[in-house]
Amino acid sequence: MDRGRSARGLFGLSGRRVLVTGGTRGLGEQIVRLLAAEGARVATCARTAEDLDVLRKSLASPGSGQLFTRALDVTAPERLEGFVAAAARRFGGLDGVVASAGGSRGRGLERTDAADWAATWELNVGHTARLVRAAVPPLRTAGGGSVVVVSSISGWKPGPDAQYGSAKAAQIHLAASLARELGPDGIRVNAVSPGSMLVPGRRWDRMRTREPEAFAAFVRTELPGGGPVAPQEVARVVAFLLSDASSGISGANLPVDRAQNAPSPDGY
């Protein structure tokens, strides 16, 4: 379905209504910024209200798309469902949803307890399933739409930590299964799997500054593209999957990793 393109932006997303979880840092922030620059109306959430304020103020320039934010934990089902409903009310429907909030609890098998496993699965898999479930009615009302699930190359390339990799594998499966289930409603569902992303102040950036030799060795052995991908590069693939240009793609998993080998230098 073509809901009209705009001269603005690369992806023709002007006026589209998109909800993104985890939009204040890293990949989620870059997705929100790109969609706003495209002229989309964007709803996003994170746990830290101050970070949402900073994001809102930084995007409050004339010409950027409308932004709706709410502080919440995506693993609290009623809060997440309430946010999806509020965003759909505010925008008069939804055209796209991105499950970007994610992460890992615990470290290594023996330092990862039952609560860490459950928290990691809730954050990555449980939140994604509930988000899509809550978004189906407004997407259906809009005549269909696009769902993007942010997984990871850890979903099929083994590396520590198993609770994280197995949850990311489950997200890829979820995207493929839901694509079939929701296809008749005109709803496409795809996974995007970043390789190691260079997020300022986060794991790979810290390693680059604090352990330059180990970082160089990691790049040499595991990153044939010469370095980690930037979140902005991954955000562009997410925007493509939200756009009509990808209308033929559903149930897919798109790696954005420049042929990265292992997801971590640690090995097992």
Ligand X SMILES: NC(=O)c1ccc[n+]([C@@H]2O[C@H](COP(=O)([O-])OP(=O)(O)OC[C@H]3O[C@@H](n4cnc5c(N)ncnc54)[C@H](OP(=O)(O)O)[C@@H]3O)[C@@H](O)[C@H]2O)c1
Q: Which residues are annotated as catalytic? A: 151-152, 164, 168
Q: Which of 13, 88, 191, 199 binds ligand X (CB under 6 A)?
A: 199
Q: In sequence order, what are the residues at sequence separation of 6 or more whose Cβ sits closer than 8 angstroms to the Cβ of residue 146?
A: 95, 96, 97, 187, 188, 189, 190, 241, 242, 243, 246
Angstrom distance (rounded) from CA 48 to CA 35: 21
Footprint of ligand X on 209-268 (CB under 6 A): 231
Give the span between the Cα atoms of 231 and 220, in whole angstroms. Answer: 21
How far is it, in rounded angstroms, from Cα 8 to Cα 151?
29
28 binds ligand X (CB under 6 A): yes
Question: Which residue of 20, 27, 139, 178 would you call a contact of ligand X, by CB under 6 A?
Answer: 27
End-to-end CA distance of the chain: 46
Q: How far apart are CA 262 and CA 159, in angstroms?
A: 7
Q: Among residues 120, 196, 243, 250, which is the contact residue for ligand X, using CB under 6 A?
A: 196
Min dist CB 239 to ligand X, Å, is: 15
Quick count: other Cβ atoms within 10 Å of Cβ 49? 13
In the complex with ligand X, which residue's Cβ is closer, 76 or 245? 76
- For ligand X, give the closer residue by CB, 124 or 246: 124
Q: Site size for ligand X, by CB under 6 A? A: 28
How would you label 19-42 residue by residue, b for 16+ Cβ within 10 Å and e otherwise? Answer: bbbbbbbbbbbbbbbbbbbbbbbb
Amino acid at position 73, single letter: D
Residue choice 18, 123, 131, 182 for contact with ligand X (CB under 6 A):
123
Question: How far is the C-alpha of 126 from the C-alpha of 113, rounded, in Å?
Answer: 18
**Closest CB 73 distance from ligand X, rounded Å:** 4
Residues 6+ apart with CB under 8 A from 6: 12, 13, 14, 15, 38, 39
Query: Could you say which of 1, 58, 89, 103 contacts ligand X (CB under 6 A)?
Result: 103
Residue closer to ligand X, measured from CB, 39 or 255: 255
Q: Which of 1, 10, 48, 247 binds ligand X (CB under 6 A)?
A: 48
Candidates 4-12, 86-94, 100-108, 181-189: pick the segment binding ligand X (CB under 6 A).
100-108
The verdict on 157 binding ligand X (CB under 6 A) reads no
Q: Please, are residues 80 and 130 in contact by the beta-carbon 8 Å criterion?
A: yes
- Smallest gap from Cβ 215 to ligand X, in A, equals 13
Residue placing its CB nearer to ligand X in the complex, 6 or 232? 232
Residues that bind ligand X (CB under 6 A): 22-28, 45-48, 51, 73-75, 100-103, 123, 150, 152, 194, 196-197, 199, 202, 231
